[in-house]
Amino acid sequence: MLKKLSLIATSVIATLLLSEIAARFIIEPRSSGFGTGILSKQWFEEEVIYNDQGYRDSDFNLKMRENAVIMVGDSFTEGHGVKHNVNFFAIAKARFHHKEFYNIGKNGENTFGQIKRFSDLLNEFSVEPTDVVFQYFFNDIEYLEPVVFKQTHWLQSPEFVSLSNHSVLFDYLYHPYLYGTFSNEYSDNLFASFENESLFAKHLEDILKIYQLAKSSGATFHFLAFPNISNEKCLRDSRNSYIMQLEEFYMKHWSKGDSWIKVSDMILNMDSDLRRANKVDAHPSPEVHLEIGRILVDAIKGNENQYIHFYD
């Protein structure tokens, strides 16, 4: 009996090892929304290169710094989940040969950090932008109230997380379940933050600081507020929770030439299968980045577009 059990155990282990080896040849790296797992680590190692200033951009060229476009944001602006030349920054940049573009979007950044990065670029490099694109996502508010989970789901156990960081096969099968259990609670907690009036008022004050920095440098401002595209419910809740409030707030302060980009409308008009980077990463897909890039080209040029609301 003991010999039989030993044989079964050996067979199971051998099967798992062979499956893992096969998985490493067959399964391609992919990003995850949390940046966790061996597949996501491999994807970042292959696809993400930072410049000398620590941004996902070419080294800053200061020859045309008096005729610049600055993109301020978080992982969406950095291009989490898409190749380097596919993010909306790169797509817009390719259409302007007489301007210098600066991408200071940073993975995991929040509004407080964006203020500092933007201020540093203006002061340390003496950049004089003609246009500033400010990209917003709802987790930018976390610096004021970090999400606290009521309880840790068993899928989030350290053992499972560790295994996903070492096994390609386990990571491939595990992350879709982790994503499903984590993202809904995370989103609900963040949506609740916008119902806290004093907290949201403080957040709006910081957002206004970014706008004021842009206007003090003489730039036209373009506001790009992304909805949560984890699922249809989150997409709808984004509109009601924070996007409408941000739009109303912005339109109390903007000036001639400034624009509000109707990101939610654009995404709602896309096939739902084309919105996300992949099934475990709710960052924008290449298709979303392409369309946003095209819209930004029109916004910077001052051209009419169904997804742009200009101040008039």
pLDDT at 182 over 80: no
Neighbours of 125 (CB within 10 A): 14
Helix crossing, 111-124 with 197-216: angle to 10°? 10
- Residue 248 pLDDT more than 90? yes
Helix-helix angle 168-193:2-26, to 10 degrees: 70
Give the tens place of pLDDT for each residue, 153-177: 667 778 888 899 999 999 999 888 8
Mean pLDDT for the chain overall: 91
Q: How confident is the model at residue 147 (pLDDT cuts 50, 70, 90)?
A: confident
Q: Helix or strand or coil: residue 135? A: strand
Q: Is it the case that residue 257 has pLDDT exceeding 90? A: yes
- Looking at the domain assignment, is residue 135 inside a domain? yes
Residues 194-208 have a mean pLDDT of 96
For residue 182, being part of any structural domain is answered with yes
CATH number assigned to the domain comprising residue 110: 3.40.50.1110
Asked if 210 and 118 count as a contact pair (C-beta separation under 8 A), the reply is: yes
Does a structural domain hold residue 4?
no
Count CB-CB contacts under 10 A for residue 234. 21
Q: Please count the other Cβ atoms lying within 10 Å of the Cβ belonging to residue 78.
A: 26
Distances 281 to 79, 86, 120, 217, 260 between C-alpha atoms, Å? 12, 16, 31, 36, 26
What is the pLDDT at residue 10?
A: 79
Structural domain including 281 reads: 30-310
14 in any annotated domain: no
Q: Determine, yes or no, domain membership for 109.
A: yes
CA distances from 40 to 16, 19, 169, 175 (A): 21, 19, 13, 10
User: 63-67, 263-267, 279-283 — which is least confidently predicted?
Assistant: 63-67
For residues 220 and 130, the answer to whether their CB atoms sit within 8 Å is: yes
pLDDT at position 161: 85
Question: What's the CA gap between 65 and 126, in Å, rounded?
Answer: 7
What is the rounded CA–CA span in Å between residue 174 and residue 195? 33
Task: Determine the Cα–Cα distance for residues 203 and 198; give it in Å rounded to an integer.
Answer: 9
Number of domains composing the chain: 1
**pLDDT value at 81 more than 90:** yes
pLDDT tens sequence across 289-299: 999 999 999 99
Nearest to 32 by CA among 189, 230, 187, 233: 230
**Any domain includes 5:** no
Q: Does any domain span residue 222?
A: yes
